[in-house]
Amino acid sequence: MTLSQPVSPLVAPDRLVFVGGLHRSGTTALGRLLGDHPEISGLQGTGVREDEGQHLQTMYQPAVAYGGPGRFAHDPAAQLGPVTDAGEQARIGEGLIRSWMPYWDLESPLLLEKSPPNLVMGRFLQSVFPGSALVVIFRHPVVVALSSKKWQRGTSLSSLVEHWFVAHDALLRDVADLERVHVLRYEDLVADTDAALAPLTSFLGLSFPLVNSGQVRSTYSDRYRSAWSAMSGPLSGRERRRIVSRFDDAARRYGYDIEDVDARHDWSLPAP
């Protein structure tokens, strides 16, 4: 096996699984959980942050080029659309596979790449790799915003919450053009792990169930729940009321309650 061989015989596109979701949404936990499965190989030993494929390649700009966590989806250039030229599809696909191949166990049936901006890159990835799967994880908008504040200290909490909806609305617009996509919520994983993972096991066609090996923990949202509840002063209380007023209806469209981070309603990805 040499890298001078054509890419397609080495890595069939339908072996590829892309995991996406905003930073602090549980993408790392989900990627590791999937990578622990005997039929899936995730990128390992890369030396880059969280073993994310976005940092290993030069075919597209990583999220940091568009402002990083809490900002990148605001830039339309980050929301990559489909590649329509066959020559470009081949060039980009080969470049990406060559970047990632050294860090996969190529004997595994499925090969996983996890990067948060995959959330808004589904059409791009599936045009370059037809038949590949996109798995996206959601987490409550306020929890994601509060936990992203450490990277964007000069950005208001309201703006970080807005970024959540910009990114996820982009995904919903893409759904009609996506061949294989599965969405799950971090909170559902915590509440009933087996029930949340069973559909994902089926979606990926795995022979054995996925098992939570401690990657997803129920306590991870506690500090942000407390921080949200504590926003009651003159300034922080005003910002909280602004966020609730502005985003409550939008949150309910995703099965969330913007004010109560513990509340969830039934929700599923709209049919294309």
The string of pLDDT tens digits covering residues 51-104 is 999 999 999 999 999 999 999 999 999 999 999 999 999 999 999 999 999 999
- Give residues with Cβ within 8 angstroms of 172, minimum separation 6: 269, 270
Any domain includes 243 = no
| Residue 265 exposed, middle or buried by CB count within 10 Å (0-12, 13-18, 19+) | exposed
Q: Which token pair is 176?
A: 């009609």
Of 151-160, 196-205, 240-249, give the lowest mean pLDDT range.
151-160
The strand order across the sheet containing 133-138 reads 40-42, 110-114, 16-20, 133-138, 181-185
Question: Would the pLDDT of 4 be above 70?
Answer: no
Q: Average pLDDT of 244-269?
A: 93
Round the average pLDDT of the chain to a whole number and report it: 91
Give the number of domains in the chain: 1
Q: What is the pLDDT of residue 2?
A: 36
Any domain includes 198 = yes
Any domain includes 84 = yes
Reported for 215-218, long-range contacts at CB under 8 A and 24+ positions apart, including other chains, are 215/29, 215/30, 215/32, 215/33, 215/36, 216/26, 216/29, 216/30, 216/33, 216/186, 216/189, 216/190, 217/190, 218/190
Q: Containing domain of residue 179, as a range?
A: 12-217
Any domain includes 144 = yes
Q: What is the pLDDT of residue 193?
A: 87
Per residue in 121-165, pLDDT tens? 999 999 999 999 999 999 999 999 999 988 887 889 999 999 999
Of 8-17, 176-185, 216-225, give the lowest mean pLDDT range.
216-225
Q: What is d(CA 36, CA 40) in angstroms, rounded to the nearest whole number? A: 7
Q: What is d(CA 85, CA 4) in angstroms, rounded to the nearest whole number? A: 22
Q: What is the CATH number of the domain that holds 181?
A: 3.40.50.300
